[in-house]
Structure 1
């Protein structure tokens, strides 16, 4: 992702403002979208906005940082949490580790330590969101392949009758534009080209299997009601007219 949203939770106004300023100055791809005084206010922000990282003090009124980390762990574990602990509060930071907190900062916060922690968090977030993007891409590709397979199945089942893109799209609950665009992207041809190939392949089989069958009837059996169209498409695909194809293959078999 291009950048990540940060929520800073600290009950001391000066410390909170200072931390917001320093996060922005580091320019590591984090944007502080909100800063609040306690855990309950933090949850209100999380419910309304997309938050990737929460940087929170431990001791605060209303809801402390430990309770906040616990709540986020059970309700939105995708949010990364960094705990800020003061002198003598290390045991609280250790408890926070049980709730998915992987990093903590000790007051007074050192610039290099802040950089190290945020860099580590960014690497973790990058990996997480890349995995999600890959999963979405994979799902999209599978879904697209299923759509194409559904189109081809429909055409195999209905090639003997007149078919329009609009009718097929309606049967598959798709727009004709989306159907054609997706199919061509995966198969490098249009659904109607696939249909033509299907019909001509079946016509070739019928011509040889039924040597006495009328050419016009063979065309109708594969969905061409107009014999002129049948002959034209057949020759375009095979280089021969239906009668020439039949004669050539009958000669080869004798």
Structure 2
């Protein structure tokens, strides 16, 4: 096991993911140095971007960028570190802010700590000090996550019947039913009543729960209605593409388990998977999605239907790549089952949705760089659907092998 792998131990569980961190400083060389330090640390961190001041960073957050940690300088133009900390306390209270400042900026530091900055580091930033503070912040985030997971377990145990009743439309919404903001998904298995023995039913519940527990915390709600028996597996996870892919893999294993329990002649067993939600109020919608998914997947989609579905989705992506797009939103727009659409998309295009969308946006950016010499790179970034110019430039360089500006210059010179 490498040192980096050792550093990851204990940080990731079914709900876990790499923690997203942003750097905010008006000096480019400082941002570059901090990025390099982060990349070399054996900590589960992913830098989502670096920003020249608090104003630029808050705009990115409002545009959809998400973080758990922020490294910010004290003194910056437009919005300094204290103003940023105050803004985060009000708008993103869960974010941990780590301040770095000079000895002469003690008043700013004290003000930031008053507004719940997590910790501070004196300039110049020392690698060991930064590592220690980040490790402490990650430990706090992990403990908060464990507590949230524990709270959800206790809440669901105490309110299982109420949650199931609300999910199926039997009782109205009330704030006391709120499960928090962890992403969740429903995996719904149904079959004709009396098809399974008690032993087989218990086996299905246990196997389904264990398989889905590979990717998150699972609660099982029993579902009996309309001459059907069933289980609704309520799966909580992390907001990431990796979790979505892990969930899809676990669902396929559940499908195999269900197929093994039912005789081939018995076609009553059906599985429906919802989209991914964070609001408890959307639970009835998630439940309805599983029922609609079952109706579509009673028989496997014929190849012609798969082709038509993919053609429709690809056409929509090409027309709307400039907008904020997710495969879940597209699946809901056309009333497709998300898990099935994701599987077919990757199978037919050879790449996951997010990689396909990114590649398309880069190709459109290259076209604009070649054909329109007057448009600014920041405008091209907006026109092709990237929310942050720094991120756009990094992805462009990683994909094309040079920066957008270099690509434009090379094309102008005929290279």
TM-score, normalized by length of structure 2?
A: 0.36
| Cα 1:19/1:148, change in 2 over 3 Å | closer
Specify the alignment match of 2:68 in structure 1. 52
Cα distance, 1:139 vs. partner? 3.0
Contact 1:59 1:65 in 2 (8 A): yes
For residue 54 of structure 1, report the CA deviation from its aligned partner: 0.8
* Aligned residue runs from structure 1 range 11-50, under 5 A: 11-47=26-62, 48-50=64-66
Is 2:100 the counterpart of 1:84? yes
Report what 1:95 is aligned to. 111
Distance in 1, matches of 2:125 and 2:83, equals 22
Alpha-carbon shift at residue 82 of structure 1 (Å):
0.5
Q: Quote the offset at 1:36 in angstroms.
A: 0.5
1:180 equivalent in structure 2: 230
Question: How far apart are residue 175 of structure 1 and its match?
Answer: 7.0
User: What do residues 2-37 of structure 1 show as CA deviations (whole Å, max 9, x unaligned)?
Assistant: 320001001100110110110121121111111100
- Please report how far the alpha carbon of residue 178 of structure 1 lies from its aligned counterpart in structure 2 after TM superposition: 9.0
The Cα RMSD (Å) is 3.0
Q: Name the stretch that deviates more: 42-51 or 108-117.
A: 42-51
**Pair 1:37–1:179, CA change in 2 (3 A):** farther
Give 5+ residue unaligned stretches, structure 2.
1-15, 171-191, 194-222, 234-415
* Alpha-carbon distance between aligned partners in 2 of 1:148 and 1:92, rounded to the nearest angstrom: 50
Max Rg structure: 1
Task: State the SS of the aligned residue for 1:89.
Answer: helix
The CA distance in 1 between the partners of 2:227 and 2:95, in whole Å, is 39
Count of aligned pairs: 165
User: What per-residue deviation string (whole Å, max 9, x for no partner) do you get for residues 104-128 of structure 1?
Assistant: 0111111111111111111111111
**1:66 matched to which residue of 2?**
82
Contact 1:144 1:182 in 2 (8 A): no
Structure 1 gap segments, 5+ residues each: 155-163, 166-172, 184-254
**What are the equivalent positions in structure 2 for 1:193-208 lying under 5 Å apart?**
none
| Separation in 2, partners of 1:10, 1:102 | 17
**More helix per residue:** 1
C-alpha contact (below 8 Å) 2:224/2:230 kept by paired residues = no
State the Cα distance separating 1:64 from its structure 2 match: 0.5
Q: Separation in 1 of the partners of 2:227 and 2:24?
A: 49
Q: Which residue is 1:141 aligned to? A: 157
Aligned counterparts of 1:85 and 1:61: Cα–Cα separation in 2? 15
Q: Is the 8 A contact 1:34 1:45 kept in 2?
A: no
Q: SS at the partner of 1:50?
A: coil
